[in-house]
Amino acid sequence: MQAAIIAVGSEMLTPTRLDTNSLYLTDKLNQLGVEVALKLVVGDHRGQLESAIRFASIHAQLIILTGGLGPTEDDLTREAVSSATGRPLAIDPQICDWLEARFASFGRKMAEINRRQAYALEGAEVFPNPNGTAPGQWLALPGKQYVVLLPGPPGEMRPMADKEFFPRLQQILPPLALSTLTYRIAGMGESDLDTLIAPTYKQYENPVTTILAKAGDLTIHLRAQTSSQSESDRLTAELGAKLRALVGERIYSDDGSPLEATVLRLLEAKGQTLAVAESLTAGMVGARLAGIPGASHSFVGGFITYNNTRKQTLLGVESDALAQHTEVSEPVALQMAAGAKLRAGSDWAISLTGYAGPDGGTEENPVGTVFIGLAGPDGYLTAHRFRYPSGDRDRVRQFAVQSSLNLLRLALI
Amino acid sequence: MQAAIIAVGSEMLTPTRLDTNSLYLTDKLNQLGVEVALKLVVGDHRGQLESAIRFASIHAQLIILTGGLGPTEDDLTREAVSSATGRPLAIDPQICDWLEARFASFGRKMAEINRRQAYALEGAEVFPNPNGTAPGQWLALPGKQYVVLLPGPPGEMRPMADKEFFPRLQQILPPLALSTLTYRIAGMGESDLDTLIAPTYKQYENPVTTILAKAGDLTIHLRAQTSSQSESDRLTAELGAKLRALVGERIYSDDGSPLEATVLRLLEAKGQTLAVAESLTAGMVGARLAGIPGASHSFVGGFITYNNTRKQTLLGVESDALAQHTEVSEPVALQMAAGAKLRAGSDWAISLTGYAGPDGGTEENPVGTVFIGLAGPDGYLTAHRFRYPSGDRDRVRQFAVQSSLNLLRLALI
Verify whether the Cβ–Cβ distance B13 to A30 is below 8 Å: no
Nearest by CB to residue B344, choosing from A38, A310, A359, is A310
pLDDT of chain A, 413 residues: tens digit per residue: 999 999 999 989 998 889 999 999 999 999 888 999 999 999 999 999 999 999 999 999 999 999 999 888 889 999 999 999 999 999 999 999 998 888 888 788 888 888 889 999 999 999 999 888 889 999 999 999 999 999 999 989 999 999 999 999 999 998 888 899 999 999 998 888 988 999 999 999 999 888 888 878 999 999 998 989 999 999 999 999 999 999 999 999 999 999 999 999 999 999 999 999 999 999 999 999 999 999 999 999 999 999 999 999 999 999 999 999 999 999 999 999 999 999 999 999 999 999 998 888 999 999 999 999 999 999 999 999 999 887 788 889 999 999 999 999 999 99
Could A304 and B309 be called an inter-chain contact, meaning their C-beta atoms sit closer than 8 Å? no
Residue B300's identity, in one-letter code, is V
Task: For residue A48, give the chain B residue with the closest CA.
Answer: B59
How far is residue A55's CA from residue A298's CA, in Å, rounded to a whole number? 56
Neighbours of A27 (CB within 10 A): 13
CA atoms of A86 and A68, how far apart (whole Å): 19
Residues A181 and A168 in one domain: no
Strand partners for B302: A304, B276
B contacts of A280 (beta carbons < 8 Å): 290
Domain co-membership, A159 together with A23 = yes
A99 and A239 co-located in one domain = no
Report the distance separating Cα A150 and Cα A134, nearest Å. Answer: 8
CATH number at residue A302: 3.90.950.20
Q: In the sheet where B251-253 sits, what is the strand order?
A: B208-214, B217-226, B177-186, B251-253
Rounded-to-integer distance, Cα A339 and Cα A311, Å: 9
Residue A67 has, within 13 A of its CA and on its CB side, a CA count of: 25
Q: Do B58 and A35 touch (CB under 8 A)?
A: no
Enumerate residues 6+ apart whose C-beta is below 8 A from B225.
B33, B176, B177, B178, B179, B206, B232
DSSP secondary structure letters along B247-294: HGGGEEESSS--HHHHHHHHHHHHT--EEEEESTTTTHHHHHHHTSTT
Average pLDDT, chain A: 94
Q: Do residues B227 and B328 both lie within one domain?
A: no
A18, B27 Cβ separation under 8 angstroms: no
Are A27 and A90 in the same domain? yes
Do residue A159 and residue A279 come from a single domain?
no
Chain B environment of A391 (Cβ under 8 Å): none
User: How far apart (Å, rounded) are the C-alpha atoms in residues A241 and A235?
Assistant: 10
- Tally of CB atoms within 10 A around B278: 33
Partner-chain contact A287 B291, CB within 8 Å? no
Let me know whether A164 and A22 are in one domain: yes
Same domain assignment for residues B246 and B270: no
Q: Are residues A273 and A382 in the same domain?
A: yes
Smallest Cβ distance to A393: which of B59, B280, B293?
B293
CATH value at residue B211:
3.30.70.2860
Residue B223, domain extent: 177-253
Q: Do A12 and A45 touch, CB atoms closer than 8 A?
A: no
Strand stretches in B62-110, DSSP E: 62-66, 89-91
Quote the radius of gyration of chain B (alpha carbons, Å): 28
Q: Show which of B220, B253, B286 is a domain's final residue.
A: B253
Closest CA–CA distance from residue B279 to any residue of chain A (Å): 8
Domains: count for chain B? 3
Give phi and psi for A71, each to the nearest 5: -90, -5
What are the respective helix, strand and coil percentages of chain A, to the nearest 5? 45, 25, 30
Tell whether ipTM is more than 0.85: no
Among residues B155, B170, B185, the one where a domain terminates is B170
CATH of the domain at A147: 3.40.980.10
Q: In terms of domains, do A129 and A263 share one?
A: no
φ, ψ for residue B323, nearest 5 deg: -70, -45
CA-based nearest distance A27→chain B, Å: 5
DSSP character for B128? P
Looking from the CA of A220 toward its CB, the CA atoms found within 13 Å total 32
Q: Which H helix or E strand runs over B321?
A: helix B319-325
Torsion of CA A374, A376, A379, A381, to 10 degrees: -10
Residues A60 and A86 in one domain: yes
**Of B129, B155, B170, which closes a domain?**
B170
Per DSSP, what are the bridge partners of residue A121?
A: A89
Give the pLDDT score at B211: 85
pTM score, whole prediction:
0.79
Measured distance CA(A287)–CA(A290) in Å, rounded: 5
Q: Which residue of B has its CA nearest to A24?
A: B15
Considering only the beta carbons, identify the residue of A58, A284, A302 that sits closest to B51. Answer: A58
B26 and B150 in a single domain? The answer is yes
